[in-house]
Amino acid sequence: MTYTTAVANGSSCSCNTSAVWNGTYCIKNCVGVPNSNGTTNGVTGCFCNSPFNWNGTNCILNCLTILNSNGTANATDSCFCISRYGWNATNLTCTINCSRIGNSNGANTSNNCFCIANFIWNDTQKCERNCSGVKYSTATWNTVACNCTTGYVWEAPLSGIHDGACKIDCNNIMNTNGNNGIEACVCLPTYDWNAVGKTCDPNGQSSNLQGNRRRR
């Protein structure tokens, strides 16, 4: 690229509008070039501020250094981000888009989201069910349910009753007719619930009997 207009002016030449005379020849004028430090690199290039690199024409963002970008520049000062992340022009970062994360209620940091009640952020960048306080649970099964101990099954949240629970599996207990809350079953006529043995016993045959009134 030629920066001179080839018009001599005593001991110097007139340079075009994008160049300046350095005492010997015309060089790139980097003052005012976005994201440069205003200093010429050689004749036709500029030194760029970190994390920008000179591409022969402009200082462009080096997206290979931007966490959670795909390494490709979208423009001179932005990058394409990987799935579930969006570009933050203020901080020059790819920030997680928590609106795309199930059971999240907004961003915490550039890589974490706040989760709604009863959910916690995990290492796979999801809001998963917090099973630590769920009675009869063992661990998280997936992002919305808990694994339950033997004899119990997961029941999804019921409005005004519970936020998700491990309930006794009455389908595997003889002489039952459904659940009576999460810890008991409704027994067939002539049977009563044995709260200790978790069984439906014939009427009057156990000292740990409960009536069959259905409850939540």
How much is the pTM? 0.61
Q: Does a structural domain hold residue 85?
A: no
- Structural domain count, the chain: 2
Q: Does a structural domain hold residue 184?
A: yes
How many other CB atoms are there within 10 angstroms of residue 45's CB atom? 19
- For residue 6, give its domain range: 1-50
- Residues contacting residue 83 through CB under 8 Å, at least 6 positions apart: none
- Residues contacting residue 9 through CB under 8 Å, at least 6 positions apart: none
Per DSSP (E only), the strands in 19-68 are 19-21, 26-28, 36-41, 45-48, 52-54, 59-61
Q: Does a structural domain hold residue 118?
A: no
Calculate what percentage of the chain has a pLDDT beyond 90.
57
Residue 8 has pLDDT above 50, yes or no: no
Higher pLDDT, 163 or 1: 163
Q: Does a structural domain hold residue 69?
A: no
Q: How confident is the model at residue 213 (pLDDT cuts 50, 70, 90)?
A: very low
pLDDT digits (tens, 9 = 90+) for 18-32: 889 888 889 999 998
Looking at 27, 50, 73, the residue that finishes a domain is 50
Q: Does a structural domain hold residue 30?
A: yes
Q: Does a structural domain hold residue 97?
A: no
C-alpha to C-alpha distance for 74 and 93, rounded to whole angstroms = 13
Q: How confident is the model at residue 209 (pLDDT cuts 50, 70, 90)?
A: low
Q: Does a structural domain hold residue 211?
A: yes
Looking at 50, 65, 83, the residue that finishes a domain is 50
Looking at 30, 50, 70, the residue that finishes a domain is 50
- Residues contacting residue 21 through CB under 8 Å, at least 6 positions apart: 12, 13, 15
C-alpha to C-alpha distance for 49 and 56, rounded to whole angstroms = 15
Residues composing the chain = 216
Q: Does a structural domain hold residue 163?
A: no
C-alpha to C-alpha distance for 37 and 49, rounded to whole angstroms = 6
Say what the pLDDT of residue 37 is. 94
